[in-house]
Amino acid sequence: MHFDELIVGAGLFGAVYAQKAVEAGHKVLVIDKRDHIAGNIYTKKVSDIDVHVYGAHIFHTSDKAVWEYVNRYAEFNNYINSPVAVYGDELYNLPFNMNTFSKMWNIKTPAEAKAKIAEQIADLHITEPKNLEEQALSLVGRDVYEKLIKGYTQKQWGRPCTELPSFIIKRLPLRFTYDNNYFNDRYQGIPVEGYTAIVEKLLEGATVKVNEDFFDLRKTGKLSDGTEVTYDKLIFTGQIDQYYDYQFGPLSYRSVRFETEELPEENYQGNAVVNYTAADIPYTRIIEHKHFNYGTQKTTIISREYSSEWKPGVEPYYPVNNEENNALYEKYKALADQEENVVFGGRLGQYKYYNMDQIVAEALACAKGAGL
């Protein structure tokens, strides 16, 4: 069978690209090595609750075109992410805002909060933050850094904050208002029918095969059922280092593991996301899935999230964008830039810590660049 495009990975990037290619009348094959579509945004109904199987996904964007595009494929609710952080027996609002500072220091006004932060970093003389620790200290002061950032970040990334890039902490808003919205974006929500339903719709009209390993196909030219496959263009959303047989050495990724259980109670923690920021608690956060959809089911499902270094055989989730890995990625990218008929997309293909809206924007731009 001959296809105009072979898309490797049925996640968000691959699905958006597929939608554009099908719309243009192309014959598209999408394969995924897992036994389901939707990549890491896969959601699955369990006891009538949409479970975010690969971790919490909250769609947020300021890009109107992206928002309108995803709304063609799903109805979104009005969920606003407002996580809380537990440190020992203390509980704080996130992101870092006046509720956090007020509870931390028993103060009320933005001026008092700013004075407190300035006092805590006066002796550090940080002019240009060189790493995540310096960035965090200069933004929020020592108390917030020690209680809400240091332990969480080291668990999440498996590296000290002094060895991590400062951009990671700048993902979070810092506000001197009493506003617990975790994002600054104009549009935000969770698809009422889950993310898998969006991807299903995006993939309509494409041939989709799950349980198919691209590297087997590359070797044999055949799908697992023996069908011979040829194609004009490849859209690859897997790991770029694996595509090139790790020839310059492996890139680092972080993986996460979830311990999920159903509990015979209606409301376990009162919030969709509760972060555990102390270093001595082994998980980083607990997700209570029903709260993403204001669920009223009689039971609840929770997932404890544990972070680990990626190794072959587990799923990669996050690129580790420190200097060393970025330099290594540039070597792979130089090879990718020479390819005429291969597009690398998504978090793994482009080795970038993308949010979902950025993935949609990238995929639309790539498709447009290809004349779709």
Q: Which residues bind ligand UDP (CB under 6 A)?
A: 85, 94, 148-149, 152-153, 156, 168-169, 171-172, 275, 277
As a whole number of angstroms, the distance between CA 249 and CA 118 comes to: 43
The residue among 237 and 275 lying less far from ligand UDP, judged by its C-beta, is 275
Task: Tell me the closest approach of the beta carbon of residue 85 to ligand UDP, in angstroms.
Answer: 5
* Helices 132-144 and 98-105, axial angle in degrees (round to 10): 50
Q: Write the single-letter amino acid at 278.
A: A
The residue among 153 and 300 lying less far from ligand UDP, judged by its C-beta, is 153
Q: Write the single-letter amino acid at 322.
A: N
Place of tokens 């898998």: 196
* DSSP output for 142-167: HHHIIIIIIHHHHHHHSS-GGGS-GG
| Strand ranges, E, within 158-293 | 187-189, 207-210, 230-236, 253-263, 273-276, 285-288
Name the DSSP letter for residue 243. H
The residue among 169 and 235 lying less far from ligand UDP, judged by its C-beta, is 169
Task: Count other Cβ atoms within 10 Å, centred on residue 363.
Answer: 27
The residue among 43 and 277 lying less far from ligand UDP, judged by its C-beta, is 277
Task: Tell me the closest approach of the beta carbon of residue 171 to ligand UDP, in angstroms.
Answer: 4
Q: Shortest CA distance to 277 belongs to which of 186, 176, 144, 134?
A: 144
The residue among 172 and 272 lying less far from ligand UDP, judged by its C-beta, is 172
Task: Tell me the closest approach of the beta carbon of residue 64 to ligand UDP, in angstroms.
Answer: 22
The residue among 45 and 171 lying less far from ligand UDP, judged by its C-beta, is 171
Task: Tell me the closest approach of the beta carbon of residue 157 to ligand UDP, in angstroms.
Answer: 6
The residue among 167 and 294 lying less far from ligand UDP, judged by its C-beta, is 167
Task: Tell me the closest approach of the beta carbon of residue 153 to ligand UDP, in angstroms.
Answer: 3
193: number of CA atoms within 13 Å, CB side?
A: 11
The residue among 19 and 321 lying less far from ligand UDP, judged by its C-beta, is 321
Helical residues (DSSP H) of the chain, grouped into ranges: 12-23, 64-71, 98-105, 110-121, 132-144, 151-157, 195-202, 214-220, 240-243, 323-338, 346-349, 356-369
Place of tokens 């009689």: 298
As a whole number of angstroms, the distance between CA 64 and CA 42 comes to: 24
Task: Tell me the closest approach of the beta carbon of residue 156 to ligand UDP, in angstroms.
Answer: 4
As a whole number of angstroms, the distance between CA 230 and CA 340 comes to: 16
Task: Tell me the closest approach of the beta carbon of residue 94 to ligand UDP, in angstroms.
Answer: 6
Task: Tell me the closest approach of the beta carbon of residue 182 to ligand UDP, in angstroms.
Answer: 7
